[in-house]
A and B are shown apart, each in its own frame.
Chain A
């Protein structure tokens, strides 16, 4: 299996990094810290799972951060101001985000436009819509929220596996199964390999494109709900720039940004690496949070360069010919 080595490297980086952190701060190696890490990054893990599908299919989805922001505001307003029962609000927002993703997918396919710019428009649209709903932070006081926040599985060592961490883990596992074991997953890979070939092999390219972006937006909607559980509030400026963190996690996880290759489990490891860097900086206390960005950038570069190297090795004869010309 060709996709394995990058994932292995990601896993090694995670383990080595975690070991290095644990040597310096022995307290990091506790279920308490790991539990918090999973909780803090639950929403990121969920969106990143969706983004993995999009990127493997050769696309990109810049709208996810805005969809999260819109979801938190919508859910907060629906529950607190419009008096909608929380479950109904959740179903409504999930239907809305799925429809939003489907619309973007349809525009990308029907008008043959680059996903980058279409989802950019989607990003403006969703963020603008959430500003229109409310520009201030709306606290959520519904009883469901306190029940969910209080719920946690005790882990040995005093760690708490919170409800939203469990939701994230379930979605990651679901994503792995969907990508590896189903026809849908195979089609996603085929699309990323080559659209034309996939189409000739009988993949319904249009339908698949719509479904993939629908899945991504749907998961962004779920991530939004999880985010509202996390902060117990809806705020139109929440999750600004999350699309970048998400793409970074996917790339660090070994997914090829040109499409065709990748794995959900790698993405999950990528999310954990980002969370680990954040945790280390919190533990250190003297480092400032901007080091997170620089470290993420360095990791991004390392992984992309690595992928580039692997691809170049695979295509050596072709590269030689091109080199002779220049």
Chain B
């Protein structure tokens, strides 16, 4: 479990601290927290709360990317599952709603995994299909309208609190711990990394690479479903056109900021979630500073480029030597 706080997370933690400091300068009451009606309020809580969907997506995405794949469909899956949850919410109980939405996410993940693992399609292409068709399916479910609901159970999922902590944050934390326990508590994480490092060699060494790939896409679908339900619960409605729009890119960005290589082979769950928080802290900071929110995209572009250049094989020659000197085993 040394993975939980690895030394290579230093850059990300520093980046988060720097951005938080900038936010503090921009908005003096940034770190203020207060308890009201049994729920914590404040900018920090807001960052965590709004960062939840991307954090959940990045949890699934990081595993997919670790197998050298990518899942472009998560935004569309969010829309589908949000639409299902919203249309069932007022006529069924919470367990049924959750089961239906998560089940749909699971099926979406299974479909992606089937295309990649069994039919051997390139991940970008395979998941592109659902990315294009998924939003259409979501609109089919909502019949093109924005479906609203008032079921208090589902609303609680988006706006309630457990011991003062907003429910979405608790869910994201729970998922992080669950995923971490399953993946790092067993050899599963290692096998996933092996699949991403060299699928052929792993296959020859006896790793069931197909099962691994299938499993990570299914998990990615379930995480996306959860994110979709929370997003729908948050606004008490499902908008098939805009739910989760472009969030797949944010999730990929979060994973990349978290230091997981797009070439697969190694990953860190905690750092991916940290990446999602860094993105959200930036967004909130830009909002608080009074700059137009459109500024977000430019800042994101610069951050992606900076992270990419740092990760670049060409530039990492020097850094690579340092790492090798520090590590006894590669």
Contacts and interface: CB of A to CB of B under 8 A. Distances in A.
Interface in A102-140: 107, 110-114, 116-118, 120-125, 127-129, 131-132, 135
A128 B295 contact: yes
Task: Report, nearest first, the 4 A-B pairs whose CB atoms are least far apart.
Answer: A297-B133, A293-B136, A128-B297, A131-B294
Contact of A297 (B130, B252, B309): B130
Q: Kindly state the interface size class of chain B when it binds its partner.
A: 35 or more
A300 B128 contact: yes
A244 interface: yes
B82 to A, nearest CB: 15
B73 to A, nearest CB: 10
A326 interface: yes
A318 to B, nearest CB: 11
Contacts of B313: 111-112
29 contacts: A107-B305, A107-B308, A111-B314, A112-B312, A112-B314, A116-B70, A116-B262, A117-B252, A124-B300, A124-B304, A128-B298, A128-B301, A132-B294, A132-B298, A288-B144, A290-B136, A290-B240, A292-B136, A294-B137, A297-B130, A297-B132, A297-B133, A298-B133, A301-B133, A304-B125, A304-B126, A304-B129, A326-B203, A326-B209
A247 interface: yes
B297 A244 contact: no
A120 to B, nearest CB: 6
A41 B118 CA distance: 35
Given A244-B132, A294-B133, 13 more contacts: A107-B305, A111-B308, A113-B308, A120-B253, A124-B301, A125-B301, A128-B296, A288-B144, A292-B136, A294-B140, A300-B128, A308-B119, A326-B203
B132 A290 contact: no
Interface of B: 70, 119-122, 124-126, 128-137, 139-140, 144, 203-204, 208-210, 240, 249, 252-253, 256, 262-263, 292, 294-302, 304-305, 308-309, 311-315
Contacts of A60: 124
Nearest to B139: A290
A112 B136 CA distance: 36
A151 interface: no
A118 B119 contact: no
Given A111-B312, A117-B304, A290 B144 contact: yes
Nearest to A114: B262
Please classify the interface of chain B as helix (H, G, I), strand (E, B), loop, or mixed, using the class held by over half of its residues. Answer: helix
B187 to A, nearest CB: 19
Contacts of B304: 117, 120-121, 124
A117 B128 contact: no
A248 B132 CA distance: 9
A251 interface: yes
A258 interface: yes
A290 B142 CA distance: 11
A264 interface: no
Contacts of A248: 128, 132
B301 A121 contact: yes
A296 interface: yes
Contacts of A117: 252, 256, 262, 304, 308
Contact of A325 (B204, B252, B294, B305): B204
A20 interface: no
A121 B128 contact: no
A293 B144 contact: no
A257 interface: yes
B132 A293 contact: yes
Interface residues of A, number: 47
A102 B302 CA distance: 17
Contact of B312 (A113, A121, A236): A113
A291 B304 CA distance: 34
Interface of A: 60, 107, 110-114, 116-118, 120-125, 127-129, 131-132, 135, 236, 244, 247-248, 251, 257-258, 288, 290-294, 296-298, 300-301, 304-305, 308, 312, 322, 325-326
Contacts of B301: 121-122, 124-125, 128
A207 to B, nearest CB: 17
B133 A293 contact: yes
Contacts of A124: 249, 297-298, 300-301, 304
A116 B251 CA distance: 14
A120 B292 contact: no
A294 B134 CA distance: 7
Given A124-B301, A257-B125, A325-B204, A297 B312 contact: no
B204 A116 contact: no
Nearest to A319: B120
B258 to A, nearest CB: 14
A244 B298 CA distance: 21
A127 B262 CA distance: 24
A135 B305 CA distance: 24
Contacts of B125: 251, 257, 304
A124 B121 CA distance: 27
A118 B294 contact: no
Contacts of A290: 135-136, 139-140, 144, 240
B292 A135 contact: yes
B294 to A, nearest CB: 3
A294 B80 CA distance: 13
A305 B210 CA distance: 18
A307 B252 CA distance: 27
B255 to A, nearest CB: 11
Contacts of A251: 125
Contacts of B139: 288, 290, 293
A127 B299 CA distance: 12
